[in-house]
A = this chain, B = another copy of it.
Amino acid sequence: MAYYQSKPVAGRHFLQIPGPTNVPDRVLRAMDNPTMDHRGPDFGRFGQQLLEKVRAVFRTEGPVVIYPASGTGAWEAALANTLSPGDRVLMCETGWFAHLWQEMADRLGLKAQLLPTDWRRGADVAAIEAALREDKDHGIKAVCVVHNETSTGCTSRIEEVRRAIDAAGHPALLLVDTISSLGSIDYRHDEWGVDVTVAGSQKGLMLPPGLSFNAVSQKALRAAESARLPRSFWDWRPMLAANATGYFPYTPATNLLYGLDAAVDMLLEEGLDEVFARHDRFAEATRRAVRAWGLEIQCEEPRHYSSSLTAVRLPEGHSANALRATILERFNMSLGNGLGRLNDRVFRIGHLGDFGPLSLVGTLGGVEMGLAAAGVPHKPGGVQAAMAYLNGNA
């Protein structure tokens, strides 16, 4: 039973939106400890080891800034720390969240050049390269890509974007949103030469929302020296200065940091590679279920399949929102809605975070029973197909 639930329902809620994800008890219990003095000596020790430890999750040896703010704030931080009013940024409109990021750039006084997609695949790397080659005078200051587009279930290939930028010989910064991929899908801040990685707490990191992150390259730090967008709360400089001794320039979200400490331990104990393999496996099982039902996966490009969520298209004339309402009502499971142009056209299954094979089977069972209950044309057998796959690979 959730904190505020309108009617009594037996059994644990299945929170299968693509984030926030099901927070493991170990993280909730860590968060549930008394708040400590964020200026005291114990905090400094705690902060230092945490700031050090969290780098592993980004696969970086550089600094990771932690904001007491949700993921949208970390987007703003990435822009505000590196850019100046009127700067041009190249953005790949891979879906709703890429679109929102572009809206934010506009509001902050940047000029976004948009590379559209049909919302059924990741970023168009060739188009990025072409746009950069065309930008002879290097007016483009940053390339912004959403690693995993939460609205479509398409993952962009960041290493290819990196190569495209390099191939074009362009000095633009590479800013990447990993809000729904970090801790779920293989990601390498240093190796892929990302300048700012934007992340949030409530997805693969298995925390409630309320923390967000910027992993920052040396190049980004240099850019921050000359960037002129006004910034204060988001400013990396006082943050990094205070972080050096384990502290924060203003009050951090202490209890969420406790949770982060526990969550990073869990990821590292399982091993990042095993975490990614687990997500890959569950994603493939989910796609097999979708195909068995005879439904269409929103992502059309197999190389861009997301391992953290799957967006499923409904047959024409059927309402994804009605389906989700039926599933919530009957089976106590929340699924993600379609966003923007996909509203009512797709539903999204989150299969990320603290999630095991039986939770996945339950999740897919809820979808399969929901399709029948809501009268959506489909073939049964999705769960069966997923189990066959899981069992051969579990």
Report which A residues bind B (CB closer than 8 A). 1-6, 8-15, 17, 19-26, 28-43, 45-46, 67-73, 75-76, 85, 103-104, 107-109, 200, 202, 208-210, 229-233, 235, 250-256, 258, 261, 266, 269-270, 275, 278, 328, 330-334, 336-337, 354-363, 365-366, 368-369, 372-373, 380-381, 383-384, 387-388, 390-391, 394
Contacts and interface: CB of A to CB of B under 8 A. Distances in A.
A126 to B, nearest CB: 30
Contact of A4 (B45, B69, B331): B45
A24 B72 CA distance: 30
A133 to B, nearest CB: 30
Contact of A25 (B34, B210, B233, B354): B34
Q: How many copies does the complex hold?
A: 4
**Interface-central residue, A38, A365, A381, A390, by most chain B CB under 10 Å:** A365
B107 A230 contact: yes
Given A20-B35, A33-B25, A269 B8 contact: yes
Contacts of A68: 69-70, 73, 209-210
A34 to B, nearest CB: 6
A19 B23 CA distance: 24
A208 B254 contact: yes
Given A32-B31, A76-B233, A12 B359 contact: yes
Contact of A331 (B39, B103, B354, B357): B357
A11 B387 contact: no
Contact of A209 (B3, B103, B251): B251
B356 A368 contact: no
A62 to B, nearest CB: 24
A358 B363 contact: yes
Contacts of A46: 3-4
25 contacts: A2-B33, A2-B34, A4-B45, A4-B46, A4-B258, A4-B261, A5-B42, A6-B41, A6-B45, A10-B270, A19-B251, A20-B37, A22-B34, A23-B255, A28-B33, A69-B233, A70-B252, A70-B253, A72-B250, A103-B232, A208-B253, A210-B253, A230-B230, A331-B358, A373-B394
